[in-house]
Amino acid sequence: MHIHDQLIEECRRGSRKAQFRLYELYSKAMLNTAYRIMGSREEAEDMLQEAFTDCFRKIGSYRSDSTFGAWLKTIVINRCITRLRKREAELVYVDDISRHEMRQEEPQETVWPDPQVIARAVERLPEGYRVVFSLYLLEGYDHTEISQILGISESTSKTQYARAKEKLRKILSEMHSHG
């Protein structure tokens, strides 16, 4: 029995109090997810509201084979992706990479600075890069999952991620030299 099963049950019966409680429990984490993908506070808050509306509408179809948090996060991410797609035709993923352009992944893992700095840098990434980078590094999805979420190929996802990392390094070093 998950701790939240009781609440979810009450939500299914339309209890406003239970809905509010779930919102309180999950909104901060979900707002962070939305913010990483949208790159803007306001839009993230919009997406969060819409996601919770969806969530309470669809809560009847929630099965506890995944955690509620994971289920809700999927709704949040789908909301964000849909909004980005509507907003910009330029959520285009570059797939035609000439071989030499993809340098071999350097053996040492990137040491990223603290999350605040990363968050500010990530905001400055182009949309497509930001989405893949956030889903992979910050939300912990793998490239297979990302390819399904975004409807792109796995190799595209990997490419976007590698490029996003490159770009992020540049942004971070610029921020560093100005700071």
Mind listing the pLDDT tens digit for each residue in 113-171?
A: 777 787 788 888 888 899 999 898 888 889 998 888 888 899 999 999 999 999 999 99
pLDDT at 99: 39
Backbone φ and ψ for 3, nearest 5 degrees, come out as: -55, -35
CA–CA dist 112, 122 (Å, integer): 12
**Range 52-66 average pLDDT:** 89
Instruction: Go through the domains of the chain in sequence order and give each one's CATH number.
Output: 5-87 (1.10.1740.10), 99-178 (1.10.10.10)
Angle in degrees, 0-180, between the axes of helices 16-38 and 68-87, rounded to the nearest 10: 50
Q: What is the pTM of this model?
A: 0.65
